[in-house]
Chain A
Amino acid sequence: MTRAKEILRTPTMVTFGALLLIIAAFSIMAPGLFNTPGNFLQLAQNVAILTVVSVGTTFVIITAGVDLSIPSGIVLGEVFAVHALEMVGGLDTQPGEVHIGYVFAALGGAILAGLSIGAINGIVVAYMKVPPLLATLGTLGAGLGVALILQNGVNTSTYALDPIGHGSWIAGVPNLIPIALIIVVAGYVLLHMAVFGRHTFAIGSNPEAARRVGINVERHLLKVYLIGGVTAGFAGFLSVAYFSTTSIGGHSTDNLQAVTAVALGGTSLFGGVGSIIGTLIGVWIPAVLKNGFVINGVQPYWQDVAVGLVLIVAVWLDQLRRRSRNRG
């Protein structure tokens, strides 16, 4: 097999090609509107929060699991963040005021929420052997319920996190972009360069093989679900920072969006195969489609149709690749 053919066979490169094609098409259709630095920065900011959770979801899916509880992780992250702010008296911070202590309090709350839901997912999946689809469906409903109880069903607004959600540490670049980038780089190092990631792939590929070489499979799975939970909680923190309010009804499809992004990026739902770079591309495809349709005056709902089709094709290609491989 030649090198070029081999590259074409990797699903990540196929999706990357698709993304480039889409960008090229929109750039031709709406020159000077779509292909501007400003539009791309706007896009990057729009996808930042989804990028963060998708990094965590990539780990989970590589173990042949799935995390449907992302919305509850995000919403609980938001709720814990504002409750932490309330406890330290930072909820009524005025726009323009900067209290770094409040920011850390909210961050701590959000991370705690993520750790909690991740720990429950991990224990139920790894040790109680409940299939991940149902385990995380359970924590999805339960977590959202807890969030509604804690909030009495209403949202809380705060400007305490404005420095995170609305500043620009780098001139002209909204803060959410470098934050998401840090998570992507951390995820890349952990998944592709660290022993932890190697074991994650091994467990998704053949858990029995991992167990035989002495890897503690259950403990590792718990850690993977903790990563999924923490990225969701952190996304909740970013969401409060960006929208200046909790949004307890607003994240209900984030789990499906994250799974879509991860699958588009070539990560196999059967485990053992995947990449952070692929996920990054997978996050961008739906966002670019939506943005391009709006700019070109096409009904944005076509984005849902297009993403659905692209997703099916991407997963179908993955299936073909697996089948031909297993025959070989």
Chain B
Amino acid sequence: MTPALAAYNIVKSFGQVRALRGASFEAYPGEVTALVGDNGAGKSTLIKVLSGALIADEGEVRVGGEAVHLTGPQDAKARGIETVYQDLALAPDLDAAANVFLGRELRRLRFLHDHAEMRRRTATAFADLGVGLVQDMRQPVAAFSGGQKQSVAIARAAMWASNVIVMDEPTAALGVIQTEKVLELVARIRDRGVAVVFISHNLPQVLDVADRIEVLRLGARVARFRRGESDVDRLIAAISGAYTNEEAQK
């Protein structure tokens, strides 16, 4: 199977700091791929390269098997890659539909927005994704709980992501029940055939949700596991450098 999104031998330096030293990564359609690693392993930098926010110094990014040069986040979006950042990037004073369609508003007469239709489509999409909002669709998202905001941000990405959806620690700030809901949402998005990339520090959660786990250490991939091939101890070993199953990288 061809990876929906892949990166090979990515090098990225910030001044003297080499954040990525020949990192590789693959995410397949219909699978949740978790990206794990210690702080400073280069996860965020890699995510930014994959979502077009950073341009790699060396290496190759492939979308659906085709080598591409992502010029920016808009370019990545145009290729069906959506990213959910940790800070969610929602406009708190706008309602869910306005946030979902922000920058891609449905129009009437070219310059007016068609809010009724946007709200309808948002409601349908949320229902399909199983995102139940307690609040009225008219409420600004500021009135939502943390988990609901996270769900809005993920559902927005899911509505537009035809290929890949990248999530940076989607459950880091959530309580137990909210985390459960968000993970259900992640699984549902995966089942629609989209490749889901997921950064997390919560290893039991990663083992539970991910179909594949890729371990990053010191700017390079050191291990990868299929579902069931690993456990918490082995993941910790890989993260800390005591275990590798990846051929030595340059």
Q: Given the complex, which residues of A lie within 8 Å of B103, measured CB to CB?
A: 199, 210, 213-215
Kindly state whether residue A198 has any CB partner on chain B within 8 Å: yes
Kindly state whether residue A293 has any CB partner on chain B within 8 Å: no
Q: How large is the interface on A (under 10, 10 to 19, 20 to 34, 35 or more residues)?
A: 20 to 34
Q: Given the complex, which residues of A lie within 8 Å of B91, measured CB to CB?
A: 201-202, 205-206, 209-210, 272
In the complex, the answer to whether A325 meets B89 with C-beta atoms within 8 Å is no
Kindly state whether residue A163 has any CB partner on chain B within 8 Å: no
- In the complex with contacts A272-B92, A273-B93, A202-B143 CB distance below 8 A: no
In the complex, the answer to whether A198 meets B113 with C-beta atoms within 8 Å is yes
Q: Given the complex, which residues of A lie within 8 Å of B102, measured CB to CB?
A: 198-199, 202, 209-210, 213, 215
Cα–Cα distance between A205 and B149 once the two chains are bound (Å): 15
Cα–Cα distance between A327 and B25 once the two chains are bound (Å): 40
Among B85, B94, B98, B143, contact of A328 (Cβ-Cβ < 8 Å): B143
Q: Given the complex, which residues of B lie within 8 Å of A195, measured CB to CB?
A: 105, 107, 111-113
In the complex, the answer to whether A205 meets B113 with C-beta atoms within 8 Å is no
Q: Could you mark each residue 78-106 of chain B with 1 if its beta carbon is under 8 Å from any beta carbon of chain A, else 0? A: 00000001010111111000110011110
Among B89, B98, B111, contact of A194 (Cβ-Cβ < 8 Å): B111
Q: Given the complex, which residues of B lie within 8 Å of A208, measured CB to CB?
A: 87, 89
Greatest chain B CB density within 10 A among A196, A205, A215, A272 is at: A205
Kindly state whether residue A326 has any CB partner on chain B within 8 Å: yes
In the complex, the answer to whether B143 meets A325 with C-beta atoms within 8 Å is yes
In the complex, the answer to whether A198 meets B105 with C-beta atoms within 8 Å is yes
- Distance in Å from the Cβ of B228 to the closest Cβ of chain A? 36
Q: Could you mark each residue 248-271 of chain A with 1 if its beta carbon is under 8 Å from any beta carbon of chain B, else 0? A: 000000000000000000000000
Among A196, A199, A205, A212, contact of B93 (Cβ-Cβ < 8 Å): A205
- Distance in Å from the Cβ of A322 to the closest Cβ of chain B? 9
Chain B residue at minimum C-beta to C-beta distance from A203: B91
Q: Which residues from 145 to 199 on chain A have a C-beta closer than 8 Å to any C-beta of chain B?
A: 189, 193-196, 198-199
In the complex, the answer to whether A272 meets B93 with C-beta atoms within 8 Å is yes
Q: Given the complex, which residues of B lie within 8 Å of A328, measured CB to CB?
A: 142-143, 145
Cα–Cα distance between A174 and B113 once the two chains are bound (Å): 34
- In the complex with contacts A202-B91, A272-B92, A212-B85 CB distance below 8 A: yes
Chain B residue at minimum C-beta to C-beta distance from A204: B93
Kindly state whether residue B22 has any CB partner on chain A within 8 Å: no
Kindly state whether residue B2 has any CB partner on chain A within 8 Å: no
- Tally of A-B Cβ pairs under 8 angstroms: 71
Q: Given the complex, which residues of B lie within 8 Å of A326, measured CB to CB?
A: 142
- In the complex with contacts A202-B91, A206-B91, A272-B92, A213-B143 CB distance below 8 A: no
Greatest chain B CB density within 10 A among A199, A201, A209, A272 is at: A209
Greatest chain A CB density within 10 A among B74, B112, B143 is at: B112
- In the complex with contacts A198-B98, A325-B142, A206-B92 CB distance below 8 A: yes
Chain B residue at minimum C-beta to C-beta distance from A190: B111
- In the complex with contacts A195-B111, A204-B93, A272-B92, A213-B142 CB distance below 8 A: no
Chain B residue at minimum C-beta to C-beta distance from A208: B89
Chain B residue at minimum C-beta to C-beta distance from A325: B142
Chain A residue at minimum C-beta to C-beta distance from B78: A214
Cα–Cα distance between A296 and B87 once the two chains are bound (Å): 56
Chain A residue at minimum C-beta to C-beta distance from B111: A194
Q: Which residues from 59 to 93 on chain B have a C-beta closer than 8 Å to any C-beta of chain A?
A: 73-74, 77, 85, 87, 89-93
Q: Could you mark each residue 28-39 of chain A with 1 if its beta carbon is under 8 Å from any beta carbon of chain B, else 0? A: 000000000000
Cα–Cα distance between A201 and B95 once the two chains are bound (Å): 11
Cα–Cα distance between A194 and B106 once the two chains are bound (Å): 11
Chain A residue at minimum C-beta to C-beta distance from B110: A195
In the complex, the answer to whether A194 meets B73 with C-beta atoms within 8 Å is no
- In the complex with contacts A193-B113, A206-B90, A214-B77 CB distance below 8 A: yes
In the complex, the answer to whether B94 meets A201 with C-beta atoms within 8 Å is yes
Q: Could you mark each residue 264-289 of chain A with 1 if its beta carbon is under 8 Å from any beta carbon of chain B, else 0? A: 00000000110000000000000000
For the complex of A and B, the 4 pairs showing the least CB-CB separation, nearest first, are A213-B103, A272-B93, A205-B91, A205-B93
20 A-B residue pairs with CB within 8 Å: A194-B111, A195-B112, A196-B111, A198-B94, A198-B102, A198-B113, A199-B103, A201-B93, A202-B91, A202-B98, A208-B87, A208-B89, A209-B91, A210-B91, A213-B89, A214-B77, A272-B91, A272-B94, A325-B140, A326-B142
Chain B residues at the A interface, C-beta cutoff of 8 Å = 73-74, 77, 85, 87, 89-94, 98-99, 102-105, 107, 111-113, 140, 142-143, 145
